[in-house]
Amino acid sequence: VRERCTREPFPPALRLGARVCRAARDQGVLLRPLGDVVVVCPPLAIDDSLLDRLGEVLYNCLKAIPNYL
């Protein structure tokens, strides 16, 4: 959401979920956008180092969206 207190969503035209997922894909991580929601669904048997990588890529992609987060 754009504003946590009011739960105001981001404007749909920004397609932020898709932008985050595209940036993650450029780094080798596949995610799924559902509007502004980024779906993260790692396999149950994921190894700790891959899980750390997934979190790192997701964090960096979210931070890279200027003026929104």
* Residue 29, CA atoms < 13 Å, CB-side half-sphere: 25
Q: What is the pTM of this model?
A: 0.82
CA geometry: angle at 68 spanning 33 and 62, to 5°? 50
Are the beta carbons of 61 and 27 closer than 8 angstroms?
A: yes
**pLDDT lower than 70: segments of the chain:** 67-69
